[in-house]
């Protein structure tokens, strides 16, 4: 039913209504405005459609790259987690730091570099007291495995009153180094490593100081190593028998160890200067001095360092670890 004023009520009911009569515009101005809006909307839709077609491939490419990046990121995270599960920190003094003499740390890293992430926490001149002061910083690295080799400087400090005073002054020690102070420090170091917690802890006995069985420092390196063995046994930790192996090596070797060479920092400094200025290898210097395991009675040549590396290597191989 049509309204009274509908255009279909006039005499020309058969004619189609005009555009103007179907759209109830009140004025030509309003009609033109509405037409412009409709046309603009239509053109905007066409533009969006064109843009979408042109960028569809680009967007797909970006999505593909994003997915690939996420896969790469997840793979990297997995790799880092595996590395973290197998992180080894080697704690010690200059023998661990490895800048004077051959480096057992670098040998160990070369052997296991693909399986373990290694951290070198060796500092020149450190006694057990110094390691105890910084052990919390070491545990903050959250290693899973710790290899501890400390005590050589504790022994060396007892050699004479001169070396004792030099160590006390240089390292600002609160007391005179002794076997008793070493034992206390070692126990506390191991307690902190255990409570960190570090899952696996290996404690090495000391490398020999001098290669002369009758020398006081040789004997003390053996005594301190026996102390290390007792403490690690009491604390249910792994003892690594480096001192014993180096003694066996000297016993089995047919050569007679050199004697009469001084044990002093001055002698060590001369070896360092020869290494730097004369470009002599540590092994060449060791051979000149007639030593089998060390360069200067204390720091290792490649043979001595290899024995330390072998001890640490066997310890790592025996551990039950997740696949790296």
Annotated domain spans of the chain:
33-84, 86-318
CA dihedral (49, 50, 56, 58) positive or negative: negative
Strands 87-92, 200-204: pairing is unpaired
Closest C-alpha to 231, from 155, 158, 179: 179
| Weakly modelled stretches of the chain, pLDDT under 50 | 1-26, 54-55, 58, 66, 73, 76-77, 80, 83, 324
- The predicted pLDDT at position 220 comes to 98
**Omega before 236 cis (within 30°)?**
no
- The predicted pLDDT at position 114 comes to 79
- The predicted pLDDT at position 64 comes to 60
Closest C-alpha to 98, from 285, 282, 316, 289: 282
Separation CA 54–CA 306 (nearest Å): 65
Q: Any idea of the CA torsion for 267, 271, 277, 279, to the nearest 10 degrees?
A: 170
Domain 86-318 has CATH 3.40.50.1110: yes
3-state class of 167 per DSSP?
A: helix
- The predicted pLDDT at position 256 comes to 55
Closest C-alpha to 241, from 311, 167, 147: 311
**pTM for this prediction:** 0.72
Q: Where are the beta strands (DSSP E) in the chain?
A: 87-92, 117-122, 145-149, 200-204, 238-240
Question: What residues contact residue 18 under an 8 Å CB cut-off, 6+ apart?
Answer: 7
Tokens at 7, concatenated: 């255009």
CB 25 within 8 A of CB 31: yes
Separation CA 228–CA 221 (nearest Å): 10
């Amino acid at each position: 039913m049509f309204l009274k004023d509908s255009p279909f009520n006039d005499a020309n009911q058969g004619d189609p209504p005009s555009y103007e009569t179907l759209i109830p515009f009140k004025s030509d101005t309003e009609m033109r405005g509405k037409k412009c809006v409709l046309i603009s909307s239509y053109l905007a839709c066409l533009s969006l459609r064109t843009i979408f077609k042109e960028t569809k491939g680009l967007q797909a490419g970006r999505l593909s790259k994003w997915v690939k990046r996420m896969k790469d990121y997840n793979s990297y995270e997995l790799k880092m987690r595996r590395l973290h599960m197998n992180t080894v920190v080697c704690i010690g003094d200059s023998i661990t730091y490895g800048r004077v003499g051959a480096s057992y740390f670098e040998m160990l890293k070369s052997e296991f570099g693909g399986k373990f992430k290694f951290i070198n926490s060796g500092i020149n001149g450190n006694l057990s007291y110094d390691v105890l002061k910084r052990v919390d910083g070491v545990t903050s690295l959250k290693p899973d495995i710790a290899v501890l080799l400390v005590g050589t400087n504790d022994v060396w400090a007892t050699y004479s009153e001169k070396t004792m005073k030099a160590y006390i002054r240089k390292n600002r020690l609160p007391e005179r180094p002794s076997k008793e102070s070493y034992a206390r420090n070692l126990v506390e170091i191991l307690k902190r490593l255990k409570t960190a917690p570090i899952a696996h802890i290996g404690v090495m006995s000391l490398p020999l100081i001098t290669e002369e069985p009758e020398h006081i420092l040789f004997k003390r390196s053996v005594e301190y190593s026996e102390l290390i063995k007792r403490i690690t046994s009491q604390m249910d930790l792994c003892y690594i028998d480096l001192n014993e192996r180096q003694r066996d090596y000297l016993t089995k070797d047919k050569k007679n160890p050199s004697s009469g060479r001084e044990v002093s920092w001055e002698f060590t400094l001369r070896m360092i200067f020869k290494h730097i200025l004369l470009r002599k290898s540590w092994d060449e210097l060791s051979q000149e001095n007639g030593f089998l395991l060390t360069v200067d009675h204390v720091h290792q040549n490649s043979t001595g360092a290899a024995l330390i590396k072998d001890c640490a290597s066997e310890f790592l191989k025996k551990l039950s670890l997740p696949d790296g």
